Amino acid sequence: MIPADADTPTDSGAKSTAIQQQITVAVDALIDSLPNPDRLSAEQRRGIIARYTTVLEGNFIYWMTGALLAVQSGEARAIVLENLQDEVRGCHPGMLRRFAQAARAIPTDGDSLAVSRDLMQVRLFIGRLSAVPIVVTMAFFEGFIQKFMAYLAELAEAQGSSEREYTDVHGVCDVEHSQELFRALEAEMALDPVTFNSELFEGVGLLHSLIQCIVHGARSQAEQAA
């Protein structure tokens, strides 16, 4: 999804900036591809909120914990730990559950099954505890969430909900979280220099597929086999 660049910079700061630029382009393209909320049925709106809740409620803290276990630099550890503390102290999973409930979008077994394959791929990727690719992945996801919140709030409003705490909080805090993760990335790359290749952006590709599944539902068997 993000091409490797043959003419990449060599120092960690310049590499982090180049990665951030590529991720910004990828996030913007993903946001631009979202279906028009006005053209979605109530069930389609419910499905997007429910599948998003299925993925985030029980997995984001696991993913960020994987990042904490993987990173080696003191600066990166401090940044990831602060992110985790925000999630736990603010009970963000509970905040998301209230959001889904108010939008009449509590996840069903079908919603869980729809995302299960792509979600498992992301879990397995995180489980490899490869520091730099995980930080790249989480920076991408934080950047996406921040820009996705306005869309998610619009879906919920169309469902008759006025509950906005989750989308309001993450529309603000994830801007900082994303920027801080790029600082963590720079610190990690100073310890572990990397080259631009498909492995560096593997997690971004997996999350991209998972987000598409959240938005559009389960893929066909033919697509899953491809």
Q: Which domains, and CATH codes, for the chain?
A: 12-30+40-225 (1.20.910.10)
pLDDT tens column, 67-86: 999 999 999 999 999 999 99
Tokens for 38? 């006005």
Tokens for 197? 């290749």
Rounded to two decimals, what is the model's pTM?
0.89
> What band does 170 get if pLDDT is binned at 50, 70 and 90?
confident
Mean pLDDT, to the nearest integer, of 147-170? 95
pLDDT tens column, 117-148: 999 999 999 999 999 999 999 999 999 999 99
pLDDT above 70: residue 11: no
How many separate helices (H) and strands (E) can be counted in the chain?
9, 0
**Cβ-contact 123, 191 below 8 angstroms:** no
**Cβ-contact 83, 64 below 8 angstroms:** yes
Q: Residue 84 and residue 215: Cα distance in Å, rounded?
A: 26
Q: Residue 202 and residue 200: Cα distance in Å, rounded?
A: 6
Torsion of CA 39, 24, 208, 94, to 10 degrees: -80
Tokens for 64? 């960020």
Q: Which of 159, 51, 58 is nearest to 114 (CA)?
A: 51
